[in-house]
């Protein structure tokens, strides 16, 4: 079996989804942890130092290539699987009751993923494109009105001062929660781990992980909008 045969097979494609999924799950821990520094309420000093460290060393920049590669692979592979799965049932049931045998979020990974992708486009345009443009000298660095050097922190306060953006972020976080809740345990099943002792632990860990990550992410725009963070 060649590499091509392996990764274009049904289980090979599932493996790619699960593997990149776990990689993105790990990334979210770093992302949420780093951003949670804003909750120290030190005018974003710690957060800004951490963000500066992440964007100004080549190891992190190199890992970022891997992050985008993983993300794009996850999206493209997901789309390809979705198209294949649609072809597997050309004539739909006239009457179907899927809620009798499975959870809605497990059947909605494609829709949840699409919502996340739309969210991501907005999110990157808010915080990624501008920072990278100024990092590489394509755009002038924004200077905060209060004269501090915490550019990204200032940017966050600015973006999260609009209630509709906060609402869109909350929709993104809710989509993320259900996507993670199914995706976490699903990834282990796909990688071949199903065990009487371990699977219940993995399911619980997935739920706890999804709650913590999404709660942290939801609190960021909300606390900035409400003015809980100076």
Partner 1 sequence: MEHYHMNLTLKVWRQKNNAAQGKLESYQVKDISSEMSFLEMFDVLNEQLIAEGKEPIAFDHDCREGICGMCSMYINGQAHGPWQKNTTCQLHMRAFKDGDTIVVEPWRSKAFPVIKDLVVDRSSFDRVIQAGGYISVNTGNAVDANAIPIDKKDADDAFMAAACIGCGACVATCKNGSAMLFVGAKVSQLSLLPQGHPERETRVLNMVAQMDKEGFGNCTNTYACEAECPKGISVANIARLNAEFLKAGLKSE
* Binder of partner 1 out of 90, 137, 147, 227 (CB under 8 A): 90
- List the one residue from 58, 62, 65, 91 that touches partner 1 (CB under 8 A): 91
Task: Give the footprint of partner 1 on residues 102-141 (CB under 8 A).
Answer: 102-103, 106-107, 109
When asked if residue 100 is in the footprint of partner 1 (CB under 8 A), the reply is: yes
77 membership: H or E segment, kind and range: helix 58-87
Of the candidate residues 114, 134, 148, 186, the single one contacting partner 1 (CB under 8 A): 186
Give the nearest distance from C-beta 174 to partner 1 in angstroms. 20
Q: What is the rounded distance in angstroms from the CA atom of residue 68 to the CA atom of residue 66?
A: 6
> At closest approach, how far in Å is the CB of 59 from partner 1?
29
Q: Which of 56, 68, 44 is nearest to 160 (CA)?
A: 44
**Does 175 contact partner 1 by CB under 8 A?**
no
Collect contacts of 130-133 with beta carbons under 8 A, ≥24 apart. Answer: 130/155, 131/55, 131/155
Residue 202: phi, psi to the nearest 5? -60, -45
**Single residue of 63, 189, 201, 204 touching partner 1 by CB under 8 A:** 189
Q: Nearest approach, Cβ of 192 to partner 1 (angstroms)?
A: 3
Q: Is 194 exposed, middle or buried (0-12, 13-18, 19+ CB in 10 A)?
A: exposed
Phi, psi of 65 (to 5 degrees): -60, -45
Nearer to partner 1, 131 or 185 (CB): 185
95: left (phi over 0), alpha (psi -120 to 50) or beta: beta
Q: Using CA atoms, how far apart are residues 4 and 138, in angstroms rounded to an integer?
A: 40
Span interacting with partner 1, options 11-19, 35-43, 116-124, 130-138, rule CB under 8 A: 11-19
Residue 12 in contact with partner 1, rule: CB under 8 A: yes
Establish if 96 lies at the interface with partner 1 (CB under 8 A).
Answer: yes
Tell me how many degrees the CA angle 208-210-216 measures, rounded to the nearest 5: 100
- Residues 57 to 86: which contact partner 1 by CB under 8 A? 81, 84-85
What gap in Å lies between CA 18 and CA 7, rounded to an integer? 13
d(C-alpha 192, C-alpha 189), whole Å: 5
In whole angstroms, the minimum distance from the beta carbon of 118 to partner 1 comes to 21
**Binding of partner 1 at residue 179 (CB under 8 A)?**
no
What residues line the site for partner 1 (CB under 8 A)?
1, 5-6, 9-15, 81, 84-85, 87-98, 100-103, 106-107, 109, 182, 185-186, 189-194
């Amino acid at each position: 079996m060649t590499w091509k045969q392996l990764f274009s097979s049904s289980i090979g494609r599932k493996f790619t989804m699960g593997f990149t999924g776990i990689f993105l799950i790990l990334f979210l821990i770093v992302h949420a942890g780093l951003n949670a520094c804003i909750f120290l309420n030190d005018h974003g000093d710690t957060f800004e130092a951490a963000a500066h460290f992440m964007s100004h060393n080549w190891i992190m920049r190199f890992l970022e290539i891997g992050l985008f590669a993983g993300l794009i692979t996850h999206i493209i592979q997901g789309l390809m699987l979705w198209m294949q799965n649609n072809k597997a049932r050309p004539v739909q049931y006239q009457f179907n009751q899927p809620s009798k045998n499975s959870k809605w979020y497990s059947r909605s990974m494609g829709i949840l993923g699409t919502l996340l992708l739309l969210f991501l486009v907005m999110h990157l345009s808010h915080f990624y494109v501008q920072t990278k443009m100024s990092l590489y000298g394509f755009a002038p660095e924004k200077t905060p009105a209060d004269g501090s050097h915490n550019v990204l922190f200032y940017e966050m306060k600015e973006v999260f001062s609009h209630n509709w953006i906060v609402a869109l972020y909350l929709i993104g976080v809710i989509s993320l929660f259900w996507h993670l809740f199914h995706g976490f345990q699903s990834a282990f099943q796909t990688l071949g781990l199903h065990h009487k002792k371990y699977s219940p632990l993995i399911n619980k860990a997935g739920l706890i992980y999804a709650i913590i990550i999404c709660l942290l992410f939801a609190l960021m725009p909300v606390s900035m909008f409400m003015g809980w963070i100076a």
